[in-house]
Structure 1
Amino acid sequence: MTTAQLDFELPPELNASMPPERRGIRRDQVRMMVLDRISGRRIHDSFFRLGNYLKPGDLIVLNSSRTVPALLKGTWKRGKALMDTDVEVRLARRKDDSTWEALVAAAGASVGDTLQFSPGLSGVITGEKASSPIKSILFSQAGTELYNIFYDIGEPITYEYIEKPWKLDYYQTVFASSPGSVEMPSAGRAFSWELLFQLQNMGVSIAFIQLHTGLSYLGEDFDFHPEEHEETYHVPGEVMQKISSTKAAGGRIIAAGTTVVRAIETVGEGGKLSGSTNLYVSRDTRLNITDGILTGFHEPKASHLDMLTAFVSEHHLLCAYQEAVKSRYLWHEFGDMNLIL
């Protein structure tokens, strides 16, 4: 089964259009469906009761990547000629201190063209791929100064189900520390410090890795190629040691999000502790490390659904999603949670 077959009807009103805090609840009070990966049994609960489904000795691995305001607006020039006064650029992936891959919403923009974002920041298109709408942009600033300007002039990347702009703080996890994600690693959003302390007090360990999420949507005309979807990650050596000791003691490794699965399974397959990964996890993938996953609900045919079939059968997953629709769970980064164990 492929993602094209993992299809279901998602009513538009189930797309969470605002943060839980703006719906009158704490971030850790979103709903949670618990799915037994063997039997397919489903339990409906609230996220702040996560500890009821974990046990002392388990390890939760979280992604501490911080979301960058990756939507930039500016003008487009070719030489001295002004081509367009209103150009939108969506950062996709950092290549080095001053170069990013990005989606440029300007038909015909090509290598050598200049994008002016503010008096203090411009960029030159230095590369493009025939098979992808992504282009490389060399910015006029680098390093910390470039990030500072992004935070001054940029906006969070949003999609059509978000009805109004929300401040960047709503797109951060409480433990986010290392800037680099262009879209929020949303599986960790529901955690509060209170819940994390509660889990630690009951004997559940917490560990942090970083994987900077790339742009998830490149347009309707783009064919997704997993081998081209690289993301930068870092897994500290002490985290891998903690994973090994947890498994040796009979504990479970619970990944908070598809990004965490991608990072730690890359290392588990013999990868380096830091680098870029294009690992695509599906039902044919043998999971060497991860025993369970905590994730949001993904839209019909989404590639993330392929990863979930490495944890649970397509039949159980589709039945669970159909029940989630019937039970009025909310989708996407501001929505509800799904624990698969």
Structure 2
Amino acid sequence: MTAIEFTLPADLEAHEPPEARGLARDRVRLLVGRRSDNSVRHQRFSDLPTLLKPGDVLVVNTSATLPAAVGVAGGGRTVHFSTERPDGTWLVEVRRNTAKATEPYSGGAAGEQYHLLGGATLTLREPYSAGRLWVADVDRAVPAYLTTIGAPIRYPYVRQRWPLSYYQTVFGTTPGSAEMPSAGRPFTAALVARLVSAGVQFAPVLLHTGVASPEAHERPYPERFAVSAHTARVVNQARAAGGRIIAVGTTAVRALESATGPDGVVRAAGGWTELIVTPELGVRAITGLLTGFHEPRASHLDMLAAVAGRPLLDRCYTEAIEHGYLWHEFGDVNLLLP
């Protein structure tokens, strides 16, 4: 698929959480696109219960965000812990400290050691993707170490530090994601209650997401996931009854589709998934998607096109830019319906 090309104006980057802009979490903007007629509507996220139907299912990721950034002793560098691998090593990104946050660092060599704050030692094994991710050994139990020492990953467009609570969703119960599964951020307990009262079902999945990729076709990496027998049953029954299966975030798509067979039936599954959803591959279980806005040429846009189709996706992104929607983890949201 040809990458979606557009220019993201700097003033459309969300520089702080909506709460800092005077908005409740569920009052961010919601751009609704319908594939059936290629239409778009401009709403607020709090309108979601009026946009869904009884019998619809929202597939939500229960992964909670780790404070996955740790400074190197002596300053100058920060390590972003991305993803644990099946053999116990970790994928990490070494970044250069700047006055604002951090920036990519293309240095590093196999065998090089970094002494991290809190006393841990990280050893680079081999490059995983050119100029960015490394396979590394760490002499600590990483999740527990990060909980004690780490800080949330922050990129330069976020102008100040925010507590970890701002990077958690109402669904996050199992720590493990390097970055927030941010499509779930606008949900509140009160909004979930409204949705349940309206007959919408929730189906939990788990996928621990790693650090975001700046490249459209960077080498994918396996991520830990789990889909329970309960979730499989809820989704299969809802689809049989004509309900829509709407993933909350690209992570939920990846988890559920990893548990879906060629026959379209979802079965309990878990482990590590390397699934990359493209228009050519398509989706078998998901019929709609609630997601944030993604950067130009991002690989996630292929997944969105697989769910929504390229014409609707093009229209949504044109409208979002023209109407000043905000990007990134603290930004606005896009609902793509069949």
TM-superposition CA deviations, 1:172-197 (whole Å, max 9, x none):
10221111111110110010010001
- Aligned residue for 1:21? 19
Distance 1:118 1:178 in 2: 24
1:133 maps to 2:126: no
Q: Contact 2:107–2:131 (CA<8 Å) still a contact in 1?
A: no
Q: How do 1:168-179 residues align onto structure 2 when only pairs under 5 Å count?
A: 168-179=164-175
1:166 maps to 2:162: yes
1:189 maps to 2:189: no
Counterparts in 2 of 1:68 and 1:234: CA distance versus 1, 3 Å: same
Q: Contact 1:31–1:44 (CA<8 Å) still a contact in 2?
A: yes
Q: Contact 2:59–2:202 (CA<8 Å) still a contact in 1?
A: yes
Residue 32 (structure 1) shift: 0.4
SS in 2 for 1:244: helix
TM-score w.r.t. length of structure 2 = 0.89
**Alignment: residue pair count:** 324
- Quick one: which amino acid aligns to residue 133 of structure 1? R
Match for residue 332 of structure 2 among 332, 336, 339: 336
Distance 1:250 1:130 in 2: 42
1:247 maps to 2:239: yes
Residue 245 (structure 1) shift: 0.9
TM-superposition CA deviations, 1:108-141 (whole Å, max 9, x none):
5333332211343222233434756322222222
Distance 1:130 1:337 in 2: 30
Q: Contact 2:282–2:307 (CA<8 Å) still a contact in 1?
A: no
TM-score w.r.t. length of structure 1 = 0.89
SS in 2 for 1:311: helix
Q: Contact 1:98–1:141 (CA<8 Å) still a contact in 2?
A: no
SS in 1 for 2:306: coil
Q: Contact 2:57–2:243 (CA<8 Å) still a contact in 1?
A: yes
Residue 325 (structure 1) shift: 1.1
- Aligned residue for 1:80? none
- Aligned residue for 1:81? none
1:302 maps to 2:294: no
Residue 107 (structure 1) shift: 5.3
Distance 2:256 2:246 in 1: 11
Counterparts in 2 of 1:37 and 1:13: CA distance versus 1, 3 Å: same
- Quick one: which amino acid aligns to residue 337 of structure 1? V
- Structure 2 portions without partners, runs of 5+: 96-104
Distance 2:308 2:137 in 1: 43
Distance 2:20 2:252 in 1: 27
Q: Contact 1:37–1:311 (CA<8 Å) still a contact in 2?
A: no
1:281 maps to 2:281: no
Distance 2:56 2:312 in 1: 24
TM-superposition CA deviations, 1:122-177 (whole Å, max 9, x none):
222334347563222222222xxx42321232121122211111111111102211
TM-superposition CA deviations, 1:258-297 (whole Å, max 9, x none):
1111111111136871111121112212321001000111
Identity fraction in percent: 39
SS in 2 for 1:51: helix
Counterparts in 2 of 1:245 and 1:130: CA distance versus 1, 3 Å: closer
Distance 2:250 2:107 in 1: 34
SS in 2 for 1:310: helix
Q: Contact 1:98–1:140 (CA<8 Å) still a contact in 2?
A: no
Q: How do 1:26-65 residues align onto structure 2 when only pairs under 5 Å count?
A: 26-65=24-63
- Structure 1 portions without partners, runs of 5+: 76-83
Distance 1:33 1:107 in 2: 37
Distance 2:88 2:119 in 1: 14
Q: Contact 2:85–2:222 (CA<8 Å) still a contact in 1?
A: no
1:91 maps to 2:90: no
- Aligned residue for 1:72? 70
Distance 1:129 1:331 in 2: 28
1:110 maps to 2:71: no
Q: Contact 2:292–2:331 (CA<8 Å) still a contact in 1?
A: yes
- Aligned residue for 1:224? 217
- Quick one: which amino acid aligns to residue 262 of structure 1? R
Distance 1:124 1:229 in 2: 19
Match for residue 100 of structure 1 among 83, 90, 106: 90
Distance 2:117 2:88 in 1: 16
